[in-house]
Chains A and B, each alone.
Chain A
Amino acid sequence: MIEVRNVTKTYGSTRVLDDVSLTIVPGGVTSIIGANGAGKSTLLSIIGRLLPADSGRVTVDGLDVTTTPGATLAKRLAVLRQENHTSIRLSVRELVAFGRFPHSRGRLTAADLATVDEAIAYFELEEFADRQLDQLSGGQRQRAHVAAVLCQDTDYVLLDEPLNNLDMRHSVQMMRRLRRMARDFAKTVVLVVHDINFASCHSDEVIAMRDGGVVAQGPTAELMTPELLSTVFDLDIAVHDIDGNRIGVYYS
């Protein structure tokens, strides 16, 4: 269980997160939606202990993320930022293999290597496995980073816009994989998504944010309403039932 209690974050005089409290129950996919600058990445980074909060507390299965030893937490919680620029020259396989670091401490067992190979295969990276990261396209690099995080095989996985740069097919494959992880292995997946329809089709729960606060949280179907979506995004969004999914239409 992820528990966020009264978390506040301020940059200068701007309050980016204003007294946010929420609970994410284990086992399931939760999507965080909201406009640019709503505070989604800030919240996710604080939960993933990449960023310190000014005040408040975050616990994961009762472990305070700021005080639990990093090595302990790394076996339970994995987090990927929105931007993952690095100038280091590693091959895709090397990067993905580092995902096993919390478990292997650098000594990869046969099982570790099998996990790495499986992730590389699932994200269709075999062809580039021995290529340096800086010789990949944006979407290929994104897939490599997500593969590394998933190799960590943690109970909690936090992903900030994992669909960044991905084409439709790879987006769908990634969402299917996350859903399967949640369903078959009781993993808790929290992601920030901009495409509300991916959020709608693949998540169990949605958290809607606006101006540093949580506007609504609940089962996906309940939140996919024109009223809520238009308050969150300041945009007229029609919602239709198509093939059993709630689909938002806002293109024209």
Chain B
Amino acid sequence: MSPSTGRRWEVRERHLALAVLLLVPAAFASLFVGAGELSPLDLLRADSGAALLLLESRLPRLLAILLAGTAMSVAGLVMMHITRNRFVSPSTAGTTESAVLGVFVATAFLGAESVMVKMVVALGFALLGTLFFLWVLRRLTFADVIVVPLVGIMLGGVITAVTTFFAYRADLLQSLSAWTNGDFSSVLRGRYELLWLTAAVTVGCYLYANRFTVAGVGRDFAVNLGVHYDRVVNLGLFLVSATTAAVVVTVGNIPFIGLVVPNLVTLLLGDNLRRVLPVTALAGAAFVLACDVVGRVVRHPYEIPVETVAGVVGSVVFLLLVLRVRRVAG
């Protein structure tokens, strides 16, 4: 192996190690932070209450956070490749808002009870919403890197307005906020397991990583290499929609993570998906975990939902990224 190939591996492993290093203490902290007192020592004292709290609430919550964080940031990474715009993510393409509309329709009009049905309907809506966004994009004469996500945010706003209107009429505003405001405080054993589906999706993304990268270079490049461009893009959209739907149904929307995390990681490590996907996954998990712990600590014993924390942090980073593009371009 040539020296330079060796160096590349080193970079990759160093970053993976760094991400794990960030993740482990945060995960540990998460297990022992919350309204109910719980410390590692309680567990040693064979206190059945402590063990129950851990197994029924804290552990499921931690797993939900890790799964959702991983899945949403990987979804953002894939989306940025298949749309060839680094500011297109589920939060800036109408995908999330469409998924929320889907859950609402499933609940209010179809009377769906099972999360599975809700998720499938949400997936369908997310896919349609995203395809509509891409259709609008193709008709846009002024498709500037930054105009594109703004159009997506506007489209999301319109969809949310529609959802809110019908939720208000159906007296379902309360349930609606459960899907729009991502929050891990209600995660209990038996109520988050759908998220394991996103782990499968993430693995799928990893298996297709090279194809997504090739598609990200451009259509001609992909066709030349024998990659079925349209099929890869459609598969990517499907995987992204599935992840978004699963997350919205189980914990609610976590804004901007799919945009901020992949952007920061690729800024450091480049866009080769095979290489950056594992780091993005870990960084996404760490990011959501940090947001969640912050939300639990700031107003202890009350909780600030993760949606709020991620929204504040995410929008600030988004702005910085946009300003950076302006600076580099100008």
Q: Contact: A81 with B271, CB < 8 Å? A: no
Report whether A89 and B270 are in contact in the complex, using a CB–CB cutoff of 8 Å: yes
Check A132–B225 contact: CB distance below 8 A: no
| B220–A50 CB distance below 8 A | yes
Tell me the bound Cα distance from A166 to B225 in angstroms: 24
Indicate which residue in A80, A105, A130 contacts B8 across the interface (CB closer than 8 Å).
A130
Choose from B2, B209, B216, B228 the contact partner of A88 (Cβ within 8 Å): B216
Interface residues on B, range: 20 to 34
- B219 — nearest CB in chain A belongs to which residue? A50
A55-105, CB < 8 A from B: 69-75, 78-81, 84-91, 93-95, 98-99, 101-102, 105
Chain A, Cβ-Cβ closest to B86: A87
Asked if B218 is at the interface (CB within 8 A of a chain A CB), the reply is: yes
CA A89 to CA B214, docked complex, whole Å: 12
- Known contacts A86-B221, A87-B84, A88-B271; is-contact A130 B4 (Cβ 8 Å): yes
Write the B57-95 contact mask toward A (1 if CB under 8 angstroms, else 0).
000000000000000000000000100101000000000
In Å, the complex CA distance between A49 and B226 comes to 10
B231 to chain A, nearest CB (A): 10
User: Which of these, A69, A72, A88, A105, contacts B217 with CB under 8 Å?
Assistant: A88
Which residues of the partner chain A approach B209 to less than 8 Å between Cβ atoms?
106
Q: Are A74's CB and B4's CB within 8 A?
A: no
Least distance between A89 CB and chain B CB atoms (Å) = 4
Contacts A81-B220, A106-B274, A130-B4 given; does A88 touch B84 at CB 8 Å = yes
Cβ of B210 and Cβ of A101 under 8 Å apart? yes
Contact A113 B5 (CB under 8 A): yes
Residues of B within 8 A of A212 (CB): none
Residue contact A48 to B271, C-beta cutoff 8 Å: no
B264 to chain A, nearest CB (A): 13
B299 contacts A by Cβ under 8 Å = no
- In the complex, whether B44 has a CB less than 8 A from a CB of chain A is no
Q: Would B225 and A101 count as touching, CB distance under 8 A? A: yes
A48 near B7 with CB under 8 A, answer no
Query: Complex: how many Å from CA A173 to CA B229?
Result: 33
**Is B224 touching A86 in the complex (CB atoms < 8 A)?**
no
Which residues of A are found within 8 Å of B216, using beta-carbon distances?
A: 86, 88
How far, in Å, is B212 (CB) from chain A's closest CB? Answer: 10
Q: Is A129 located at the chain interface by the 8 A CB criterion? A: yes
Given the contacts A101-B214, A129-B4, A130-B8, A90 and B271 also touching, CB distance less than 8 Å: yes
- Chain B: residues with CB nearer than 8 A to chain A? 1-2, 4-5, 7-8, 81, 84, 86, 209-210, 213-214, 216-218, 220-221, 223-228, 266, 270-272, 274
The 7 closest A-B pairs by CB, nearest first: A74-B226, A71-B226, A106-B210, A70-B226, A89-B271, A89-B270, A101-B225
Residues of A participating in the B interface, judged by any CB pair closer than 8 Å: 48-50, 69-75, 78-81, 84-91, 93-95, 98-99, 101-102, 105-106, 113, 117, 129-130, 132, 149, 152
Q: Other than A106-B274, A117-B2, give 15 A-B pairs with Cβ distance below 8 A.
A: A49-B223, A50-B220, A50-B223, A70-B226, A70-B228, A71-B226, A84-B220, A89-B266, A89-B270, A98-B214, A98-B217, A101-B225, A106-B209, A113-B2, A130-B8
